[in-house]
Copies of this chain bind each other. A is one copy, B any other.
Amino acid sequence: MASGTGPHGGGNARPTMADIAKELGVAKITVSRALSSHSTVKDSTRKLIRETAERMGYRLNVSARNLRQQRTRTIAVVIEMAPSHDRLMSEPYPLSLLGGIMQKLTGAGQNMVLTTIDLFAEHPPSTDGVILLGQGVHDDAAAAIEAMGLPYVVWGAAHGPPERIVVGSDNRAGGRLAADYLLGRGRTKLLFLGETQHGEVEDRLAGFEAGLTGSDAGIVNRIACAFTAAAGREAVSRLLDQGRMFDGIFAANDAIAMGAIEAVEAHGLAVPADVSVVGFDDSPGASIFSPKLSSIRQDWPVGGELLAQKVLDLVAGHTVVSRVMPVELIIRES
């Protein structure tokens, strides 16, 4: 290992701007200016300095610059816990949300540090702002971030203090669309599957209920249920074992919906013949599941871009407002 210029560092200490300056007999500030193409530096000196820096293997010390400039060009993305394999596609927030954030940040020359709420509190990275994905039960996470005094924005439901900047989908409208879908199929005994401690799910249920008022349909059961296929399967299985009947299901996400469908079929019922099911997110699996899943689509990439844009605006000192994004009913077979 570490033979010559292996995968490790060079071995010798890195040269600094002072080293380059000494080598060339100029002031280190001139080196700084030449390398950052900042001020008026004679073309010939700039060229000379750049070549010398290259030859000596110079690398900018980012920590030093960050300290001097009092900014880091870095935004923290805080998730509530590490994504794990058994949560299908890492629900509730998929990679495409991260992708949207990343695309916008990258385009603005900003780095993105991905961290959990615990790590962020314990070993805070150096960042100019924070994007928080999900506000946690009882607002814990948002409160913790708020306490750090950094500009921040949140993905989720707008249940917090009004000055908090939130980007999220119109979950109430999504719930209403789900109600329309099931009502349109003549379903009357409905099941809601989802954890309403989760603000977004709470809104979905509220919209769902609102969409049912005035109809002859009603919710026969509300089951708290994690964002996984296993949880959906188990919840529905238990109900059917107890002889409870229903003919429509609104699941808080697609994974739950898939699990629910499996349980329904395992009990000898058919989807959509006996039970109609609508999920949420229109995740990649929805269109390849059998039956193809009807779902409420959220536009994750755009949501991510909005989050990134807004936190950058906050960092720049601009005025920023919250944003509710439209959702869309995708009708398939279920």
Contacts and interface: CB of A to CB of B under 8 A. Distances in A.
Interface string A282-304: 00110011100000000011000
A96 B85 CA distance: 6
Interface in A262-296: 284-285, 288-290
Interface of A: 1, 3, 5-10, 14, 57, 59-64, 66-67, 72-74, 82-85, 88-90, 94-96, 98-99, 102-103, 106, 109-116, 118-119, 122-126, 146, 148-153, 163-165, 258, 284-285, 288-290, 300-301, 314, 319-320
B150 A125 contact: no
A89 B67 CA distance: 38
| Number of this chain's copies in the complex | 2
Nearest to A109: B123
Given A83-B95, A301-B85, A9 B151 contact: yes
A37 to B, nearest CB: 12
B83 A102 contact: yes
Contacts of A146: 7
A85 B297 CA distance: 13
Nearest to A122: B109
Contacts of A319: 1
B106 A99 contact: no
Contact of A151 (B7, B94, B114): B7
B122 A111 contact: no
A334 to B, nearest CB: 13
Contacts of A163: 1, 3, 6-7
B102 A320 contact: no
B82 A165 contact: no
